[in-house]
A and B are shown apart, each in its own frame.
Chain A
Amino acid sequence: MAKTMALKVNSETHSVSVDPGTMLLYVLRDDLKLHGPKFGCGLSECGACTIHLDGKAVHSCVLPVEAAVGHHITTLEGLGTVEKPSPMQQAFIDEQAVQCGYCINGMIMTASAFLAQHPNPSRDEIKQALNGNLCRCGTHMRIVRAVQRAAKTGRQA
């Protein structure tokens, strides 16, 4: 049964009327038209649906929407815009880290939350941090370089 709830997404409060057990990913994509987060496996394994909940990277595909009420949700759209991408988004563009692009939302969201906590990571730490994000094109080397580039940009900023 639908219930009206207030969701804080990308610094704005949205009112949504959906079943409270609907997974957050569907509400973000279908109701709020935020298509950054992707449906990959639906089993909290692949990382394509990653968002930030109070700044922490989590899977939105297994999180009932009502469980997210009261928390700060950030999606890829909340990091930057096409006109003004975030340093991480810009680094992914500069390194041409995208092939098909389906996993990239999760890569950027996970990497952003990680860099916020570890501004000066080693290459191995970056690889470990991204272990919950699967890429089937095989662009991992470029993705790691992009995160290294964003870290460098962050240190210079």
Chain B
Amino acid sequence: MKPFVYERARDAAQAVAALVADPDAVFLGGGTNLVDHMRLGVASPDRVVDVTRLPFDRIEQLADGRVCIGANVRNSELAAHRLIRTRYPMLSQALLAGASGQLRNMATTAGNLMQRTRCVYFQNVTTPCNKRQPGSGCSAIGGYTRYHAILGASEHCIAVHPSDMAVAMSALDARVVVLGPSGERRIPLVDFHRLPGDEPERDTVLRHGELITAVELPALPVAAHSLYRKVRDRRSFAFALVSVAAALDVRGGTIADVRIAFGGVAHKPWRATRAEEILRGTDATPEQFERAADTELAAARSQPGNAFKVKMLRNTLVAALQELAGAA
């Protein structure tokens, strides 16, 4: 591991200033992805600014019904919280479907959003990778693609975002609260992560020095009836082949409201807006669920090693919606 300076941030403004002053400095949360990457040589910061002691460790319900999740809330704590389990069950389920107990005890809300792809070519510093080394080429294209994207990829990168939590937050219309050198801004989670385009090295729209302080969830009544369904090669401690976060409100057989997002299939959590548009106001029937899935997946482009994912995702979405409709 390259030597680095470790320091603890005194307050949020000082943490931001420390990064602004040093282009090679990074924030440290739970360390469960950054420190791995420092060991592997994927990341080589000269300064690590630990922000885990900053006072962003609470889950609060605001007067207008929103729920504010501090950036330093650990994944295990968030998954177990009563507000999350009752009002946003898909988020609790998504968190518990990810990683292991030890990792969830350390991983923070902000760190989970900032984790990087587990594409094997990205993590192996001996192979070309446009995300790790812009312009060097993509080893995944034409390589082992079982875990790669089927939506929104580019000729430069077909990696997927690994988070389960972020998929649920995408479906929940979450907003990321960010502190930068010129003050605070709020970024809708659906716009927080990027598609690779010709800049796959940029995972998110964050600028250097911007610090995530919280994630806000809107009141969103439909979310109380929601689930997260994850399909993977092992039953536990594995990343998604495909996953679906879905919320459904059916009244008298008609869909009053719906939220859908996919994981494991794109460079960012994939909010299925086309499927949602088709479903709103229609009958909650298997035929409509299939039509919505097919419409959303019309844009899917698979690789030789992951063509199965298109049908797998279609079936997973239909099954998730049927489960929600059946229990309505």
Give me the interface of A with B, judged by CB distance under 8 Å.
19-21, 23, 42-45, 47, 50, 53, 56-59, 61-64, 66-67, 110, 113-114, 128-129, 131-133
Contact = CB atoms under 8 A, between A and B. Distances in A.
Interface stretch (B35-43, B154-162, B220-228, B274-282): B35-43
B308 interface: no
A133 B103 CA distance: 11
B102 A59 contact: yes
A28 to B, nearest CB: 16
B4 A44 contact: no
Interface string B23-54: 00000101110011001100000001010100
Contacts of A64: 6, 28, 31, 35, 48, 50
Query: B interface, how many residues as a size bin?
Result: 20 to 34
Best-surrounded residue of B50, B52, B101 (most CB of chain A within 10 A): B101
B36 A43 contact: yes
Contacts of A129: 101
B136 interface: no
A66 B102 contact: no
8 contacts: A21-B4, A21-B48, A44-B35, A53-B105, A62-B30, A64-B31, A67-B28, A67-B50
Closest 4 CB pairs of A and B: A132-B100, A21-B6, A62-B35, A131-B236
Given A58-B106, A59-B102, A131-B236, 8 more contacts: A20-B6, A45-B36, A58-B105, A62-B35, A132-B100, A132-B103, A132-B237, A133-B100
B99 interface: yes
Contacts of A67: 8, 28, 31, 50, 52
A57 B105 contact: yes
Nearest to B38: A62
Given A57-B102, A59-B102, A129-B101, A19 B6 contact: yes
A131 B5 contact: no
B112 interface: no
A129 B48 CA distance: 31
B76 interface: yes
Contacts, number: 77
Interface of B: 4-8, 28, 30-32, 35-36, 39-40, 48, 50, 52, 76, 99-103, 105-106, 236-237
Nearest to A60: B102
A9 to B, nearest CB: 18
B118 to A, nearest CB: 11
B236 A62 contact: no
A43 B106 CA distance: 13
Contacts of A131: 100-101, 236-237
A113 B102 CA distance: 10
Nearest to A51: B102
Given A21-B5, A21-B6, A56-B76, A62 B105 contact: no
B32 A57 contact: no
Best-surrounded residue of B7, B8, B40, B103 (most CB of chain A within 10 A): B103
Nearest to A53: B105
A61 B103 CA distance: 12
Nearest to B8: A66
A113 B7 CA distance: 30
B106 to A, nearest CB: 5
A63 B50 contact: no
B237 A44 contact: no
Contact of A23 (B8, B30, B35): B35
B309 to A, nearest CB: 24
Contacts of B28: 64, 67
A110 B100 CA distance: 11
Contacts of A44: 31-32, 35-36, 102-103, 106
